[in-house]
Amino acid sequence: MNHRKTTELRRSLGGMLALTLIVQLFLPGAVFSQTDQGRMVGTVHDQNKASLPGAKVTVKNTQTGEERAALTNEEGSYLITNLKPSGYTVRVGAQGFASSEVTGIQLLVGQALTLDLELKPAGTTEVVNVAAGEDAGLDTTSARIGANVNPREVQGLPLNGRQLSQLYLQAPGSLNSGSGTFGDIRFSGRAVEQNAVRYDGVEGSAIIDSSPGNLNGEIASPFRLQASLENVQEFRVDSNSYPAEYGTGTGGQVNVVTKSGGNHFHGSLFEYLRNEKLDSRNWFDRDFKSPLRLNQFGASLGGPIVKDRLF
């Protein structure tokens, strides 16, 4: 009797576990934190600035080929949410009007990009190329204070030790209170334990006090919560006045987006070298120079497994 009950209990637990995994796999992404996602908003109008309801706006991720679409409402406004940071092409069309296309749009981490679109009468075609300007990262929909670090800055800015956390200092109100590692960056006078670090929307802070780099939230350890810069596409740091969707932490809100493959193969092979033979002698090194040896090397590769579907 006991053996039978044990067997039934195991089967029941196994079924519950399988059901939980299936639900997690098939639930929409909106269930999880979307602070790393962007969105596009705007209006569609004609040459006379009259709004056009019922126009279809389609956005296409130029890296993965993924498409999202929305119809404008009675006021000619549209909203497309949960967009991954990437380059996009936007197409818009309406009955009686020629289709229009806008290319070269770069959507940043957590950005609410306002893009107003204009349609001309049927019989004409238009393709607009958008070049990123100084206000490309300006978010006029929120009072939050922060900074976006784009892929070019992640790849090209010189960093001692190649630590991602040192790029946090580009955000207003940031302060390096130690060595510049994850556990030493403060924002707007708040403690480091109040920072929240997310990787692709998933919390990456310590369990007890949310301080990265601590062992059980009690003992400082040499371990640092890090990601290779080769694996980081871009990120955003919000240091103050961020909106309500940032539900944890009252310090800095760091949203890191990791690289994902696209329809084209890209890769890199790198080595970062530090050696005392390349340095001048320090004032305190009277007889010999203090040894300094550091080699960081590796490679990365990304691309399609199934075009437009799996990367």
Name which residue leads in pLDDT, 94 or 181: 94
pLDDT digits (tens, 9 = 90+) for 90-111: 999 998 888 888 888 888 888 8
Query: Residue 27 above 50 pLDDT?
Result: no
Name which residue leads in pLDDT, 67 or 249: 67
pLDDT of residue 133: 43
pLDDT digits (tens, 9 = 90+) for 238-269: 888 777 777 677 788 888 888 888 888 988 88
pLDDT of residue 55: 92
pLDDT digits (tens, 9 = 90+) for 151-174: 888 888 877 767 788 888 888 888
Q: pTM of the entire structure?
A: 0.68
Judge whether 302 and 260 are in contact, CB under 8 Å: yes
